[in-house]
């Protein structure tokens, strides 16, 4: 039977339960999702989210509410697996653990990410919304800046950047022409290029897909994630997502990076915070 | 030999490695740390933080940098244990997992909290501080509001409230006289009453010791924590801690609660975010 979904993101999230060990799902981390020396961290979150979704859907808890990932080693393109363990099955929520594994050069198992997550049913939540936060004001996508921001030599090493459309607010993209604002903020529109609409799994990608907020501080090195926790608060409406990254506490060689994701209906659908290692001064 | 530390908080964090199973530490959750139907969540975080500290100090990584806790069931006063498993030992950081366990009424083991954490050495971090956040402005502790805010009948069920000194900014304490601001913010000064100065473990308590921010929204029910992640960014200076709790996204029966902890030197020493279940309407 042909795969009912032709969308690239869904194909990339294809996972196969291992024969005799259904808690282990085998998958392939495609080169297309590589950025620099490793796979994008948000894409890896989505893989973990997918495995947990498969595990917990039977419990009527298909959606991530909270997911915390601790990055142990850099993932590489190639075979991988996610093993899940359910810690608690509740009436309205379940909590589970997941490990993303690969093999090292000698074939020994090596853990890439350890995660904890609480899943539930976003559609079944009460419909009260008293959010006091308001979405950032950006020019419309057609007036924002796209792929032309990325230096060609960097783009060649980052096929990940071709997996989605990103339109950055010019007010937070000065770093691309050597004029970082110093505010520690990057805002932009995000969507998949092939018409695949957002869902909770895509939000896991969206919270870690933008350029690191350190670019806006004038630091262009790599800022590896140590830990990332995301709260998914609603199933997103179709259309563009609005993503805002910001940092307020750059100190001691570490920084926090907060992400907010707003859907086309103006709802704050996801919030994340990561602790990252600051880029080394050059 | 007498215990060199007479401080209540340190005595409460006494843990004994189990004979033959040093990765398991036995402890007693004292009734004094109870609030309502369970033990305070920040106190439980500190117990987990203590067990991880004991595990990782030999690796020169005594301090929590990031700690994520998923609350599985309500803890009760009485015997408990924390089991730790080191996932990765690195040069500057190590990552580990911890489980807080108790026995149920039938003596069967039941998990209270599953946690992941990355530990390092706060004193050894680079001393650059470029934090752009600024501490909230509060009246001095003597002009803030203390224990008189708590209704006597509630106090009787919450011995936890006698474990620390809390002085709330009158501007965010209107709820105590039936006039919640509706802003979703609570600010106050925090310290231990017996002169025990703050350290990274106390920060784990401080991020979840204030009244729930929902009080300032006029909701006085219980708001149980589902998940809490804290980043400890510096060893705090002696003196009062300044704690600010806020929420911006109350929706779907859930809310996020952010906490910031500032030390007496004006340094942002800890940031936390929790996902909590909203109090049921009355």
pLDDT tens digits, one per residue of A76-132: 999 999 999 999 999 999 999 999 999 999 999 999 999 999 999 999 999 899 999
**A165 closest CA partner among A184, A149, A185, A151:** A149
Residue B83, C-beta contacts closer than 8 angstroms, at least 6 positions apart: B23, B24, B25, B98, B99, B101
**B101 closest CA partner among B116, B81, B79, B72:** B81
- Does A242 score more than 70 pLDDT? yes
H/E element, B48: helix B41-56
Residue B51, C-beta contacts closer than 8 angstroms, at least 6 positions apart: B15, B25, B82, B84, B98
- Does B116 score more than 70 pLDDT? yes
Cα torsion A70, A72, A73, A79 to 10°: value is -70
Phi, psi angle pair for A49, to nearest 5°: -60, -35
Summarize pLDDT for A215-236 with one digit per residue, the tens: 999 998 889 999 999 999 999 9
- Does A265 score more than 60 pLDDT? yes
Which tokens is B7 given?
């401080």
Cα torsion A46, A48, A49, A54 to 10°: value is 130
- Does B281 score more than 70 pLDDT? no
pLDDT score for B1: 53
pLDDT score for A147: 74
Q: SS3 of B138, please?
A: coil
pLDDT score for B216: 94
What single DSSP character describes residue A279?
P
| Angle A258-A259-A260 from CA coordinates, rounded to 5° | 130
pLDDT score for B6: 84
pLDDT score for B97: 98
Tell how strand B250-251 and strand B254-262 pair up: antiparallel
- 8 Å CB contact between B198 and B238: yes
- 8 Å CB contact between B281 and B222: no
pLDDT score for B155: 82
Average pLDDT, chain A: 94
Residues from chain A that touch B250, judged by Cβ atoms under 8 A, are 128-132
Q: Is B181 on the interface with A (CB under 8 A)?
A: no
pLDDT score for A1: 53
B6/B1 Cα distance (integer angstroms): 13
For residues A184-205, one letter each, b for 16 or more C-beta atoms within 10 angstroms of the residue's C-beta and e for the rest, the string is bbbbbbbbbeeebebbbbbbbb
Tell how strand A109-120 and strand A21-29 pair up: unpaired
- 8 Å CB contact between B206 and B242: no
Q: Looking at chain A from residue 57 to 86, which residues have their Cβ under 8 Å from any Cβ of chain B?
A: 65-66, 68, 70, 72-73
Nearest to B70 among A118, A226, A268 (CB): A118
Residues from chain A that touch B116, judged by Cβ atoms under 8 A, are 68, 70, 114-116, 227
How many residues does this entry show for chain A? 282
A17/A28 Cα distance (integer angstroms): 13
Sign of CA dihedral A213, A215, A219, A222: positive
Summarize pLDDT for A148-207 with one digit per residue, the tens: 777 787 788 899 999 999 999 999 999 998 999 999 999 999 999 999 999 999 999 999
Q: Is A219 on the interface with B (CB under 8 A)?
A: no
Residue A99, C-beta contacts closer than 8 angstroms, at least 6 positions apart: A82, A83, A111, A113, A114, A115
The residue among A84, A94, A249, A258 with the most chain B CBs within 10 A of its CB, best to mutate, is A249
Summarize pLDDT for B44-99 with one digit per residue, the tens: 999 999 999 999 999 999 999 999 999 999 999 999 999 999 999 999 999 999 99
How far does the CA of residue A251 sit from the closest CA of chain B (Å)?
4
pLDDT score for A121: 98
- Mean of the pLDDT values across residues A24-53? 96
How would residue B152 be classed by pLDDT, with cut points 50, 70 and 90? confident
Summarize pLDDT for A49-61 with one digit per residue, the tens: 999 999 999 999 9
- Does A37 score more than 90 pLDDT? no
- Does B122 score more than 80 pLDDT? yes
A222/A277 Cα distance (integer angstroms): 8
The residue among A56, A64, A70, A183 with the most chain B CBs within 10 A of its CB, best to mutate, is A70
- Does A30 score more than 60 pLDDT? yes
Nearest CA in chain A to B229: A229
A157/A154 Cα distance (integer angstroms): 5
- Does B3 score more than 60 pLDDT? no
pLDDT score for B5: 62
Through-space distance between the first and last CA atoms of chain B, rounded to whole angstroms: 53
pLDDT score for B209: 95
- Does B282 score more than 60 pLDDT? no
Please judge whether B251 and A130 are an interchain contact, meaning their C-beta atoms are less than 8 angstroms apart.
Answer: yes
| Angle B49-B53-B58 from CA coordinates, rounded to 5° | 165
B138/B149 Cα distance (integer angstroms): 17
- 8 Å CB contact between B9 and B192: yes
pLDDT score for B4: 62
């Amino acid at each position: 039977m042909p795969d009912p979904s032709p969308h690239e993101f869904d194909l990339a999230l294809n996972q196969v339960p291992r024969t005799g060990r259904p808690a282990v799902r085998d998958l392939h981390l495609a080169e297309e999702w590589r950025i620099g020396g490793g796979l994008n961290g948000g894409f890896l979150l989505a893989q973990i989210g997918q495995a947990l979704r498969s595990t917990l859907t039977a419990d009527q808890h298909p959606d991530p509410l909270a997911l915390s990932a601790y990055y142990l080693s850099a993932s590489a393109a190639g075979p991988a697996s996610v093993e899940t363990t359910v810690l608690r099955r509740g009436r309205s929520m379940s909590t589970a653990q997941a490990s993303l594994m690969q093999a090292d050069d000698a074939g020994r198992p090596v853990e890439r990410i350890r995660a904890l997550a609480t899943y539930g049913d976003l559609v079944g939540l009460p419909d009260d919304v008293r959010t006091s936060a308001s979405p950032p004001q950006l020019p419309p996508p057609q007036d924002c800046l796209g792929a032309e921001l990325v230096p060609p030599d960097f783009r060649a090493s980052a096929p990940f950047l071709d997996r989605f459309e990103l339109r950055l607010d010019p007010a937070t993209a000065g770093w691309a022409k050597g004029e970082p604002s110093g505010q520690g903020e990057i805002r932009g529109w995000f969507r998949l290029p092939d018409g695949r609409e957002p869902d909770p799994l895509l939000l896991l990608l969206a919270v870690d897909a933008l350029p690191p907020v350190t670019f806006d501080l004038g630091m262009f090195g790599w800022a590896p994630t140590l830990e990332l926790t995301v709260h998914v608060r609603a199933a997103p409406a179709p259309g563009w997502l609005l993503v805002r990254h910001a940092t307020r506490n750059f100190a001691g060689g570490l920084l926090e990076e907060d992400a907010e994701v707003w859907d086309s209906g103006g709802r704050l659908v996801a919030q994340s915070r990561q602790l990252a290692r600051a880029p080394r001064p050059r």
